[in-house]
């Protein structure tokens, strides 16, 4: 399905269905910020849909290079001794390469993706940030306010967390909780230091870090072949224009930089740069607890590649360095915010209450919270056993294991959100370009370039 019409068929479905989702959000959501996003994003997705329809129309043009120009394959299309699988595949790659630079090729699809992200994520984000700075209410979700307030507390007291007594004294105790790791407060520092302005909105900095990390990851994984570029376009869409991501970055956004840094860590690992991979993973883990299981799976791959030390220095070092000041200043506040509140033992209940399996069990089954936590623990043990018996041999497999584990965890957590599904969705699609290219892939590219592949008696491609 993904290869139909050179990937344009899937693009058309993605943008058209996303336009319907945005329209339904604009007309049916109970949240002001979500309705505002939908009203703008619907037009952005519609424009992207029109762009893909134009690309499909242009796809019917004749190929720019006839098949008989190929130096190694028969020109008349008849079966012959030369018509080998390598020859057939190289003809396909040649045709794809001819179209890659055209208005319907992979490069154009990438630019449509960038334009769509600006239209459905960046523009709604900036509009809401400007309106919020002007005094409009309901232009940001609670997590934005929490992150910005945690940064102010960090500057005032040395810890982003408020103790139980301080939370109880607030008129709205829910906004006193900061269920993140200390590193998340960094995104609130611009507002804490420079005051109220649209550009000091935490979401603006969420978006900048997200865009930078995704671009760096894609650049690392590019190998110059149209097939890999096509996989990267689809992967980039999963981390940017997918409604789960676009809505999140425009209205809340704290999950997107964490996800993007995880993707960058996998990309660095795929290229053997485990020191940088550990730093990217450590930065994500220093912001949100959800990144910790991702760090463990990627760590298993580092063990396979005998790069544990280089990886662990950043992956474990950065979260520890971020935790130390908060634990020294007021350890009880850290436990109240990061442990008691997410597990349902805080002064108020977490608003993360999407009706997935764990939440339903916790709500409707006697002792349901314990049952859900036991199931979550069993799922974690199953993933651990998977890693022990079949450790990942490439970064793509590690990403797929991570996506599977996170999907199980999100479904089984007693307090969960539908929005968390953006993690397994993005990781699953990024697992494809993360896989190391096989020797056959390189030989096919050599054939397309007119270079004879090397002979090797031990070739098992």
Q: What span, in angstroms and rounded, lies between the C-alpha atoms of 456 and 450? A: 19
Q: Considering only CA atoms, which of 409, 433, 64, 385 is closest in space to residue 239?
A: 433
Q: What percent of the chain is modeled with pLDDT above 90?
A: 53
| Token output for 281 | 């993973």
| Token output for 74 | 């028969």
Q: What pLDDT digit, counting tens, does each position of 376-425 carry?
A: 888 888 888 888 888 899 999 999 999 999 999 888 887 777 888 889 99
Q: CA torsion sign, 157 to 162 to 164 to 168? A: positive
Q: How confident is the model at residue 77 (pLDDT cuts 50, 70, 90)?
A: very low
Give the pLDDT confidence score for residue 102 in this predicted structure: 64
Q: How confident is the model at residue 97 (pLDDT cuts 50, 70, 90)?
A: very low
Q: What pLDDT digit, counting tens, does each position of 111-153 carry?
A: 999 999 999 999 999 999 999 999 898 898 989 999 999 999 9
Torsion angle of alpha carbons 216, 312, 423, 321, nearest 10°? -90
Q: What pLDDT digit, counting tens, does each position of 176-233 carry?
A: 889 999 999 999 999 999 999 999 999 999 999 999 999 999 999 988 788 888 899 9
Q: What span, in angstroms and rounded, lies between the C-alpha atoms of 59 and 54? A: 9
Q: How confident is the model at residue 98 (pLDDT cuts 50, 70, 90)?
A: very low
Alpha carbon 59 to chain centroid, angstroms: 30
Q: What span, in angstroms and rounded, lies between the C-alpha atoms of 231 and 150? A: 38
Q: What span, in angstroms and rounded, lies between the C-alpha atoms of 228 and 221? A: 8
Q: How confident is the model at residue 437 (pLDDT cuts 50, 70, 90)?
A: low
Give the pLDDT confidence score for residue 350 in this predicted structure: 72
Report CA-CA distances (Å) from 174 to 170, 327, 346, 419: 9, 22, 9, 19
pTM for this entry? 0.84
- Residue 280 parent element (H or E): helix 274-285
Q: What span, in angstroms and rounded, lies between the C-alpha atoms of 87 and 73? A: 6
Residues in CB range of 157: below 8 A, 6 or more apart: 329, 330
Give the pLDDT confidence score for residue 56 in this predicted structure: 86
366 vs 155 pLDDT, higher one: 155
CB burial of residue 34 (10 Å; 0-12, 13-18, 19+):
buried
Q: Which of 94-98, 322-326, 367-371 has the lowest mean pLDDT?
A: 94-98
Give the pLDDT confidence score for residue 104 in this predicted structure: 63
Mean pLDDT value across the chain = 84
User: What is the mean pLDDT of the segment spanning 349-355?
Assistant: 73
Q: How confident is the model at residue 436 (pLDDT cuts 50, 70, 90)?
A: low
| Token output for 374 | 């036991």
Give the pLDDT confidence score for residue 3 in this predicted structure: 75
Q: What percent of the chain is modeled with pLDDT above 70?
A: 84
pLDDT at 339 over 90: no
Q: How confident is the model at residue 57 (pLDDT cuts 50, 70, 90)?
A: confident
Residues in CB range of 331: below 8 A, 6 or more apart: none
Q: What pLDDT digit, counting tens, does each position of 265-312 carry?
A: 999 999 999 999 999 999 999 999 999 999 999 999 999 999 989 999
pLDDT at 66 over 80: no
Q: What span, in angstroms and rounded, lies between the C-alpha atoms of 286 and 261? A: 11
Give the pLDDT confidence score for residue 340 in this predicted structure: 86
Give the pLDDT confidence score for residue 61 in this predicted structure: 63
Q: What span, in angstroms and rounded, lies between the C-alpha atoms of 420 and 280? A: 20
Highest mean pLDDT pick, 82-91, 164-173, 349-358: 164-173
pLDDT at 448 over 50: no
Q: Which of 14-23, 42-51, 239-248, 384-393 has the lowest mean pLDDT?
A: 384-393
| Token output for 442 | 């390189």
Give the pLDDT confidence score for residue 379 in this predicted structure: 87
Give the pLDDT confidence score for residue 147 in this predicted structure: 95
CB burial of residue 364 (10 Å; 0-12, 13-18, 19+):
exposed
Q: What are the boundaries of each domain within the chain?
A: 1-67+87-138, 140-351
Mapped onto helix, strand or coil, the DSSP state of residue 416 is strand
């Amino acid at each position: 399905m993904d290869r139909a019409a050179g990937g344009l068929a899937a693009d058309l479905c993605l943008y058209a269905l996303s336009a319907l989702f945005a329209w339904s959000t604009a007309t049916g959501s109970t949240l002001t910020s979500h309705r505002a996003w939908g009203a703008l994003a619907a037009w952005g997705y519609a424009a992207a849909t029109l762009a893909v329809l134009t690309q499909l129309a242009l796809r019917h043009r004749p190929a720019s290079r006839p098949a008989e120009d190929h130096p190694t394959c028969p020109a008349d299309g008849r079966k012959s001794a030369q018509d080998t699988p390598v020859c057939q595949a190289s003809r396909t790659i040649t045709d794809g390469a001819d179209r890659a630079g055209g208005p319907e090729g992979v490069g154009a699809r990438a630019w449509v993706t960038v334009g769509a992200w600006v239209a459905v994520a960046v523009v709604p984000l900036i509009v809401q940030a400007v309106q919020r700075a002007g005094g409009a209410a309901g232009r940001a979700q609670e997590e934005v306010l929490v992150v910005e307030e945690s940064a102010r507390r960090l500057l005032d007291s040395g810890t982003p967390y408020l103790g139980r007594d301080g939370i109880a004294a607030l008129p709205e105790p829910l906004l006193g909780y900061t269920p993140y790791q200390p590193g998340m407060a960094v995104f609130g520092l611009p507002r804490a230091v420079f005051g109220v302005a649209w550009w000091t909105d935490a979401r603006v900095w969420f978006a900048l870090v997200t865009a930078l990390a995704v671009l760096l990851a894609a650049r690392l994984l590019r190998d110059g072949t149209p097939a890999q570029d096509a996989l990267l376009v689809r992967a980039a869409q999963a981390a940017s224009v997918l409604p789960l991501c676009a809505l999140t970055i425009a209205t809340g956004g704290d999950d997107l930089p964490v996800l993007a840094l995880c993707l960058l860590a996998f990309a660095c690992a795929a290229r053997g740069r485990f020191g940088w991979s550990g730093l990217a993973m450590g930065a994500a883990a220093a912001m949100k607890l959800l990144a910790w299981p991702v760090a463990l799976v990627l760590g298993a791959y580092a063990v396979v590649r005998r790069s544990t030390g280089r990886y662990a220095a950043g992956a474990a070092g950065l979260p520890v360095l971020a935790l130390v000041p908060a634990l020294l200043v007021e350890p009880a506040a850290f436990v109240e915010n990061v442990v008691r509140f997410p597990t349902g033992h805080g002064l108020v209940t977490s608003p993360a209450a999407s009706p997935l399996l764990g939440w339903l069990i916790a709500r409707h089954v006697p002792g349901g919270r314990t049952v859900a936590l036991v199931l979550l623990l069993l799922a974690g043990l199953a993933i651990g056993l998977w890693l022990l018996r079949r450790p990942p041999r490439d970064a793509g497999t590690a990403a797929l294991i991570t996506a599977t584990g996170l999907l199980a965890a999100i479904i089984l957590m007693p307090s969960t959100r539908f929005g968390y599904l953006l993690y397994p969705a993005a990781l699953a699609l990024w697992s494809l370009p993360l896989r190391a290219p096989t020797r056959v892939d390189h030989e096919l590219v050599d054939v397309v370039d007119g270079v004879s592949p090397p002979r090797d008696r031990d070739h098992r491609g």
